[in-house]
Amino acid sequence: MPGTRLDPIDRKILAELQADGRMTNVELAKRVGISAPPCLRRVRTLEEAGFIRGYHADVDARELGFEVQVFAMVGLVSQAEADLSAFEERCRNWSLVRECHMLNGEVDFILKCVAPDLSTFQTFLTEELLKADNVASVKTSLVIRGAKDEPGVPFDVLEERLSRDA
């Protein structure tokens, strides 16, 4: 099980940083019950190992003028690996696309898009997404409101599972 490569202190560090990535190393060390120097070493090791991919501010899109959020379900003509990879690369280059996930089932990809207004999204949809190579179909759903937007993983579930397996 992947989570077992980390000891309880490492998992606590990750949980604390996931909740508040801006806390000082001294505060983090206090919360996880170790001194600051080994805490900093552990954080750097977690970063180097890829458990921590980065630190980001959780900005409010609406406050910044991005009033439109849309999920776009994309079907492709071909699901050959080269075509899937080419579509993923294209998505990485579209700034309105904030998330891109390949799915199994009827839909090949789901994209989370943000735009300042419906007109901007419509232009992206008709001039970029629908005209992209290999795109067969796009179905969109406009977000009315969000009820939950939690980053990361539920560490409580991981800890419960690890304690059961121990």
List, for residues 32-82, the tens digit of each pLDDT value: 999 999 999 999 999 999 999 999 999 999 999 999 999 999 999 999 999
Cβ-based burial of 162 (10 A; exposed 0-12, middle 13-18, buried ≥19): middle
Q: What is the pTM of this model?
A: 0.86
Token pair of 50, please?
A: 């890829």
Output 164 or 26, whichever has higher pLDDT: 26
Single-letter code of the amino acid located at 166: A
Output the average pLDDT for the chain.
95
Give the least confident one: 9-13, 56-60, 93-97, 100-104.
Answer: 56-60
The structural domains of the chain, ordered by start, are 2-57 (1.10.10.10), 68-142 (3.30.70.920)
**23-37, 64-78, 101-115, 148-162: which has the minimum mean pLDDT?**
148-162
Looking at this protein, which amino acid is placed at residue 122?
Q
The rounded distance, in Å, linking the Cα atoms of 162 and 166 is: 6
Asked if residue 1 has pLDDT above 70, the reply is no
> Helix crossing, 25-32 with 8-19: angle to 10°?
130
